[in-house]
Amino acid sequence: MKAAYTGPLERVNEYCWRIPRSYKQGMRVDGLIYVSDALVEQVRQDQAPEQVANVATLPGIQVASLAMPDIHWGYGFTIGGVCATDPQEGGVISPGGVGYDINCGVRLVRSNLFENDVRPHLDTLVDALFRRVPSGIGRSGKYHFDARELRRLMLEGVPYLQGRGLASEADIAHTEAEGRLEGAEPERVSERALQRGADQCGTLGAGNHFLEVQVIDEIFDANAAAVMGLEEGMVCVMIHSGSRGLGYQVCDDALKKLRGVPEKYGIELPDRQLACAPVLSPEGADYLGAMRSAANYAWCNRQLLMHLARETFAEVFGRPWEALQMSLVYDVAHNIAKFEDHRINGGHKKVWVHRKGATRAFPPGHPETPSLYKKIGQPVLIPGDMGRASWVLVGQPGSMEQTFGTTCHGAGRVMSRHQAVREAKGRRIDEELAERGVVARARSWRGLAEEQPDAYKDVNLVVDVVDRAGLSKKVARMRPVGVIKG
Half-sphere exposure of 338 (CA within 13 A, CB side): 25
Q: What angle do CA 212, 462, 65 make, to 5 degrees?
A: 115
Report the C-alpha gap between 303 and 22 in whole angstroms. 46
**Coil vs helix vs strand at 289:** helix
Q: What angle do CA 209, 422, 335 make, to 5 degrees?
A: 25
In angstroms, the Cα distances linking 61 to 261, 352, 437 are: 18, 9, 47
Radius of gyration of the chain (CA): 21
Closest to 105 (Cα-Cα) out of 437, 370, 388, 334: 334
In angstroms, the Cα distances linking 193 to 105, 275, 293 are: 20, 20, 11
Report the C-alpha gap between 15 and 465 in whole angstroms. 6
Neighbours of 422 (CB within 10 A): 11
Could you tell me whether strands 64-72 and 30-33 are parallel, antiparallel, or unpaired per DSSP bridges?
Answer: parallel
Instruction: Sort 190 into a burial class: Cβ within 10 Å, 0-12 / 13-18 / 19+.
Output: middle
Q: What is the DSSP string of 75-124?
A: SSSPEEEEEEE-GGGT-EE-GGGT-SSTT-EEEEE--S-BHHHHGGGHHH
Closest to 336 (Cα-Cα) out of 320, 358, 319, 368: 358
Could you tell me whether strands 92-93 and 105-109 are parallel, antiparallel, or unpaired per DSSP bridges?
Answer: unpaired
**Coil vs helix vs strand at 300:** helix
Whether residue 312 contacts residue 125, with contact meaning beta carbons closer than 8 Å, is answered with yes
Which amino acids are annotated catalytic? 409
Report the C-alpha gap between 133 and 125 in whole angstroms. 12
Q: Which residues contact 328 (CB under 8 A, 6 or more apart)?
A: 107, 108, 109, 170, 171, 174, 175, 306
Q: What angle do CA 79, 82, 83 make, to 5 degrees?
A: 140
